[in-house]
Amino acid sequence: MRLGIVKLIMLNIKRVTIAFAVASLLAGCGKNEVTPAAKTAPASPVAVSVIPVRSTNWPDVYEATGTVRARMSSAIASRMTGQVREVRVNLGDRVSAGQVLVVLDAEGLDAASSGSEAALAEARSAQPEIESAVTAAKAQLDLAQITFGRMRDLFAKKSISNQEFDEASAKLKVAEANYAMAMAKREQLAGKIAQAEQGVRSARINRSYSTIVAPFAGIVAEKSIEPGMLATPGAPLITIEQAGAWRLEASVEESRLANIRRGQAVEVQIESLGRTVDGRISEIVPAVDPASRTATVKIDLPQVADLRGGQFGRARFKMGQREVLAIPANAVAERGQLQNVYIATENTARARMVTLGARNGDQVEVLSGLTAGDTLIYPIPSGLSEGSPIVPSITGTSLNGVRK
């Protein structure tokens, strides 16, 4: 009896296990059934305009960088050693020709000038006395000559003795000596006066060195002196640049010098001002820097507001013509540091990374990324991306010949 009950229980467990396995298998089969994927609608083609990429002749322009400097610049130094008493200008001040810039201590020079003037006055004060002596000596000489002439006539007639004739002759010689001495003193005094006058002139010139003035009208570009400092000959104190007269000093590679001429027109871009001006080559320095292998070319610039020394500039020299691939600058899409264009290939937009070169107006040179014959999408429609379906057309006609 008990054995039969156990067998019955075991049979029921086996049935339940089989039923559970079958249910699991059916459930697994249900999970492996493939459901149809959702279908997405294809994107609508974008109508675009295209232009063929062709090579074209462009002006061959060589660009050189340089610095704006004044055409006339003067580093002003002192001609004497002295302590600076006054500095009457500051950096950026406009000065006129002859304006006082720096005043040096001149007490010693004042004393020397006063001494020279006193010596001149003393020498000139002796002139009346000397002139009187000369006049007296000349009168004595004239009298002695007349007297001697008379005595000579009387002596010839034997009317006077030899002693009387000798006395007249001696008086004439004394009068001549006195007159010569007076004339010598006059010449000596004239020399003293001339020397004193030269001393006064020298003292005044030296005194003028204590006042340093502007040699021409301009702008104070540099200042390296302050009151109380010691000025020495040859040491620059102030640098003045002539106002309104500027030029660009550009460094040009020696291999390019053969194509550059004095008087040649040059386009100059002043980056800090954001503008381009027309310049003209005024000077080509013949010496070439052995380190950089460049020579300095000086380009005169027109008067431009806010132009000043030290500004950075680019000079563009026209060297002839060259063949390049050029496209509209607006056909380039910039994403960060990358520059892309879109071309039409089998009614599909394809992105091309390009490397650009020089610009000429609204055109830009393509150095790499495109070849002649490519079909460039221009202008770029909004939302265009790699792989977008397109309907390209050139001047209103689709590429497959169907009229739009």
- Domain end position, chosen among 319, 346, 376: 319
Q: Give all strands of the β-sheet with 100-104 in edge-to-edge order.
A: 211-213, 100-104, 82-87, 230-231
Q: Do residue 121 and residue 96 come from a single domain?
A: no
Within a domain: 30: no
Q: Tell me if 200 sits within 8 A of 117, measured CB to CB.
A: yes
Give the pLDDT confidence of 260-299 residue by residue, as tens digits: 999 999 999 998 888 899 999 999 999 999 999 999 999 9
- CATH number of the domain residue 219 falls in: 2.40.50.100
**pLDDT band at residue 10 under the 50/70/90 scheme:** low
CATH of the domain at 336: 2.40.420.20
31 inside domain: no
Query: Could you tell me if 80 and 156 lie in one domain?
Result: no
Residue 404 within any structural domain of the chain: no
Give the residue from 292, 319, 346 where a domain finishes. 319
Residue 218 — pLDDT band, cuts 50, 70, 90?
confident
- pLDDT of 43 reads 67
Q: What is the pLDDT of residues 72-92, one digit of tens each?
A: 888 999 988 888 999 999 988
Per-residue confidence (pLDDT) for residue 337, from 0 to 100: 83
pLDDT of residue 42: 59
Q: Per the domain annotation, does 382 fall within a domain?
A: yes
Would you call 222 helix, strand, or coil by DSSP? strand
- Work out the mean pLDDT of the chain and round it to a whole number: 82
Closest CA to 163 of 153, 172, 151: 151
Give Cβ neighbours of residue 316 (< 8 Å, ≥ 6 apart).
61, 62, 63, 266, 267, 268, 269
CA distances from 277 to 266, 305, 373 (A): 9, 12, 37
Q: What band does 178 get if pLDDT is binned at 50, 70 and 90? A: very high
Q: How many domains does the chain have?
A: 4
Q: Is residue 17 part of a domain?
A: no
- Residues 344, 367, single domain; the answer is yes
Q: Poorest-confidence range of 81-85, 195-199, 325-329? A: 195-199
- Both 90 and 222 in one domain: the answer is yes
Residue 227 sits in which domain range?
74-104+211-243
CA distances from 236 to 214, 228, 259, 316 (A): 13, 16, 38, 35
CB atoms within 10 A of CB 210: 21
In-domain check, residue 86: yes
